[in-house]
Structure formats: structure tokens, C-alpha cells
Amino acid sequence: MNAITVQQLTVVYDKQPALEDVSFHVPKGSLTGILGPNGAGKSTLIKAMLHLIPRKFGHVNVFGKPYTEQKHLIGYVPQRREVDWDFPTNALDVVLMGRYRQIGFFKRAKKEEISWAKQCLEKVGMLAYANRQISQLSGGQQQRVFLARALAQNASIYFMDEPFAGVDAQTEKAIIQLMKEWKKEGKTVLVVHHDLQTVEDYFDHVLLLNKKPIQYGETQRVFNLNNLEQTYGGKISFLEKSPVLIQGGE
Amino acid sequence: MMYTFWIILTGCLVGLTCGIAGSLLVLRKMSMIADAISHTVLLGIVGAFFVSHSLNGVPMLIGASVVGLLTAYLVEVLNKSGVQSDAAIGVVFTSLFALGVILISLIGDQVHLDTNHALMGEIAFVPWDTMMIKGQSYGPQAVWMLGFALIANVLLITLFYKQIKMSTFDPQFATLVGVPLTFIHYLLMTMVSFSTVASFNSVGAILVVAMLIVPGATAYLLSERFLHVILLSGVIGVIAALLGYGFSILLNVSIAGSMATMTGLLFLLAFLFNPKNGLIIKKLSTHY
């Protein structure tokens, strides 16, 4: 069964195509890594799928229905640098934002919702920081607050935009732990990723993207030198069986 | 005695109303839109006069909010079609304000509204411009309008507190979980328009920007919670109004000017001495 079907998704920035005719199916319960060089449109792809940016063309279906009817099934971890962490609020409050649908339009968070949010913080090892002003958290801790917020959404499908970028070992472990748990619960996870060395450990499916989809499929089948060279334009070499990005990465 | 009371009350209401509404703009990094709306409401006021042939509270509030929303909408449209946001604000507000200036000069002999008054306001005249119903006077019109704007602000912030906070912190996530982003945006623009037009007679188009933005910017330096920024901003607005009034009496200078100056002074104090990252605290902590 397909959790997500993307058909002919096209995004245009300033008359330049950022994504051209992207189509693929994501099976339910899969862990997909979205890979590609800088400027390949990886973040653009998930934002377009989530209807956060204007699309020129294309359809996104979630469990067989249009995305707009299924938004409540979606959880999202944006890139950390996309928000202003000087914003006057604390970690618990950010996590409670993940319970917005459950809390209701005019209502305040009840005790159950607050204890739910606290459990989510505990799962990522951040309960001790619940009342901490978010600007006083380290980058990794801020990332874990975002993870806890996504966890609080209790979604069926999770989108994460470069969650591993610039985080400490503890946070990296927390992310991997969560992804495994989500997979065990039959949830579907899509992750924008750029560290090629960890791809085979983390993901069972891979989308290779460079403005157009180069390949989508099981990691074993798709993640090989030939496909990577096509995606990254021949700037790849394999060292001890692990692909290493020679140029063009971060 | 009553005269002084009305002036002080008007000043405090301006500080409170504008402080609360403006803090939301500061938090959203949209301070420049306050500058724009504070000028374009002039067109709303003049427009309301053309329709209703009076400078009454209700038509003025309606006219100002229509033009305020129009300003926000035009800025958005220009911005989306590729004009840089600061340029878009600059183009929209000067054009609409200029239109207001032209219309004022057309009706200048019919009403006591001139460009100078519109820019600087005159709080000293406020107590004489009373609300008249069936020949009975019910206190200054400005106080009624400010009271209405204040209640509207408090009510709307209370109702939509969560939505305002979420759309300010992380608009993309907020959209995803179903916060109506556009609605909240124009709601805030309405609040700013109400606050501006209600303060217009007292402090004018230029100084109202100080009352909108400076208390919010000051409170932002001093608080770590969203609600605290909003409340403290209102309190700072009131303190600035009180200090400003005292200062103006002492030196026999412009009341509105003194109030706006006080907001700047309070900001400077917070900037230098706030315990989080004040300039002085930083200097001291590097020395000792």
C-alpha cells in the first residue's frame, strides 16, 4: 500500500524550474532518504508536497486521497534555522504547538495535553529543559524540541528536513531511535539527508533527486555508484565500499 | 482639573492600546507596516468624511480599518509579484497618504483637519472634542474610540492568542496544523488600524509609530514569554505616557512629543541595563 503518491510535481522559482515533473510512490511503513546535491530541490520537494510553497503543477495523494483532506495525518520537522530561536517562549510551549489540532481552536491546553507534551520531551531527553527559554538551548537541543513537537503530533507520516545537520551525537541517536520506533509502528518517514555515508544504515528506501527524480526504490537496489554519479554529476568516489562525496556537499 | 484628567487618561489609553497591538508587530518583525498603516489611515479618515460628512468615531474606525487592510493587502500583492517588501511598503503608504493629503486640501475649509494636525496630533484639544448625543456631552470622543480599540485588541488577542503565537513563531508549521494564517494576518492589521485611528487625534501619524513600536521593542528586550512581551509593552506605553505628560508640564513643551520621547528613553534604559544581554551588563561581566 502506498502512503504517498506524488504525480508530476513541478515548482518554478523566478521562471527557473526548481523541480521538474517529479513522480514517485512511497510505500507505507518505509523510511525514505531524499538525496541529491545542493540546489537539487530536496527541501523544495517536501515543502511542495506539504503545500507550503506554490506549485506550478502536480498532485499529491496521501493514502489514496488528496493531500488537503489528509493534512491531519502529517507530522513535520522543519530545518532548525527556519525559525527565530530568540522568540520569547519555552520548550514545552513549542511542543504543545504539535497538539494544536487536538487542543481545539478556542481552547487552552488541558492537563492531558501538557502531560502528553512532557512525555514527548522525555522521549528525546529534554524533559529537564521543559521550562527553558528556547534561545538558551544548544542547536542539538533545539532540534530535539522540534522532534518532540513532531512526536506530539502523533502523525502517520513524518517529513523531516535535514534533521541531522549540525547536531551532537546525543541528538543524532535520538533521531535514529525515533525513526526506528516510527517504522515499527508502521509509520512512514521521509527525510531530506545529505550524508551519503550513513544512508545504508538509516534508510530502506532512497529518492535520488536533482531537480528531476533520478531513481526511487529500495536502498539496496538504487543506492549504487552509477545512480549516484548520475545524481551528483560524477563527483563521487567509493572509499571502502562507502560512497564519499568529493565535491559539492556541505 | 477635569481637563488634565482627560488628557492623562487619553495618553495612558494611547500607550496601552498601541503598546499591546504594536508588540505583536515587533514580534512578527513587521514594524515597518505600522509606519505604513499609521500614514494611510489618513486616507481612511478623509474617505469616511466624504461618505458620512462628519468626523464621527464610527465612520472613522470603519474607514481606517478598510484603508489599513487595503494597505496590508497591496503590500502583500506587490511583494508576491516580486517587489521587495520594504520597497512595497514605501510605495504603497506614500501613494495612499499622498492621496489623503490631496483630499484633505479639498475639504480643508469644511473641517478642522489639516495635514499638520494629521502628522503631529494635538492631545491638548482632545478634551473639547466630546461625544455628543442629543445635545448631551459624554466625555471626549478620543477616549471612547481608544476604549473601543483597547477592548477590541484585548478581546481578539484573548480569543486568538494561540493562533497569533504559533503563526508568529513558525508560520509553516502553523499552516500545516491548520492555523488560518491569512485570517490572523489581517486580524492583526485590523487591530493596528483601530489603534492607530483611535490615537490619531492625540498623537498624529508620526508619533503613533513610536507608541506602537518602541514599547514592544523595549518589552522584547525584557521578557522571555510571548504573553509577558504583550503585557509589559502595554505597561511601558502607559509609563511613557505618564512620564511624558509630567515632562511636558515641567518644561511647557508638546505633550505628544514628550510621550514619544519617553518611549525612546525607556527603550534606551532597557537596551543598556536589561539583565539578559544589556550593553552595560555585558561590559561589566567581561571586566569582572
Alpha helices (H) along A70-218? 91-96, 100-103, 111-123, 139-153, 169-184, 199-202
**What is the distance in angstroms between the Cα of A118 and the nearest Cα belonging to chain B?**
18
Question: Is A41 contained in some domain?
Answer: yes
Q: How do the domains of chain B map onto residue ranges? A: 2-287
Assign A75 a pLDDT band (cuts: 50, 70, 90).
Answer: very high
**A201-217 pLDDT, tens digit each:** 999 999 999 988 888 99
Instruction: Say what the pLDDT of residue B28 is.
Output: 94
Q: How many residues does chain A have?
A: 250
Instruction: Tell me the three cell numbers of residue B213.
Output: 513600536
Instruction: Say what the pLDDT of residue A248 is.
Output: 45
CB spacing of B178 vs A71 below 8 angstroms: yes
Instruction: Say what the pLDDT of residue A249 is.
Output: 41
Query: Which residues in chain B come in under a pLDDT of 70?
Result: 108-114, 281-282, 284-288
CA atoms of B232 and B220, how far apart (whole Å): 9
Count of structural domains within chain A: 1
CB spacing of B177 vs A101 below 8 angstroms: yes
Assign A236 a pLDDT band (cuts: 50, 70, 90).
Answer: low
Residue A247 has pLDDT above 70, yes or no: no
Question: Is A170 contained in some domain?
Answer: yes
Question: Is A116 contained in some domain?
Answer: no
Question: Which residues of A, range 7-46, sit inside 8 Å of B by Cβ?
Answer: 14
Cβ atoms of A72 and A101 within 8 Å: the answer is yes
Question: Is A22 contained in some domain?
Answer: yes
Point out the residue among B27, B159, B173 whose CB comes nearest to the CB of A76.
B173
CA atoms of B166 and B169, how far apart (whole Å): 5
**A118: Cβ contacts below 8 Å, ≥ 6 apart:** A92, A127, A130
Q: Residue A235: which domain range?
A: 2-85+155-245
Question: Is A117 contained in some domain?
Answer: no
Tell me what the mean pLDDT of segment A51-56 comes to: 92
Cβ atoms of B212 and B259 within 8 Å: the answer is no
Tell me what the mean pLDDT of segment A121-139 comes to: 94
Return phi, psi of residue B59, to 5°: -60, -35
- Is any Cβ of chain B less than 8 angstroms from the Cβ of A84? yes
**What is the distance in angstroms between the Cα of A128 and the nearest Cα belonging to chain B?**
18
CB spacing of A76 vs B178 below 8 angstroms: no
CB spacing of A71 vs B162 below 8 angstroms: no
**B130-167 pLDDT, tens digit each:** 877 778 888 888 899 999 999 999 999 999 999 999 99
Cβ atoms of A147 and A124 within 8 Å: the answer is yes
Question: Is A225 contained in some domain?
Answer: yes
CA atoms of A47 and B211, how far apart (whole Å): 38
Residue A240 has pLDDT above 50, yes or no: no
CB spacing of A101 vs B175 below 8 angstroms: no
CB spacing of A89 vs B165 below 8 angstroms: yes
Closest by CA to B107, choosing from B190, B60, B45, is B45
What CATH number is associated with residue A184?
A: 3.40.50.300
Question: Is A238 contained in some domain?
Answer: yes
Which position has the grid cell 528525546? A124
Instruction: Say what the pLDDT of residue B203 is.
Output: 86
Residue A250 has pLDDT above 50, yes or no: no
A149 to chain B: nearest residue by CA?
B173
> Interface pTM (ipTM) of the complex?
0.90
Is the domain spanning B2-287 CATH 1.10.540.10? The answer is: no
Instruction: Tell me the three cell numbers of residue B189.
Output: 492589521
Question: Is A108 contained in some domain?
Answer: no
Average pLDDT, chain A: 89
**B12-33 pLDDT, tens digit each:** 999 999 999 999 999 999 999 9
CA atoms of B184 and B178, how far apart (whole Å): 12
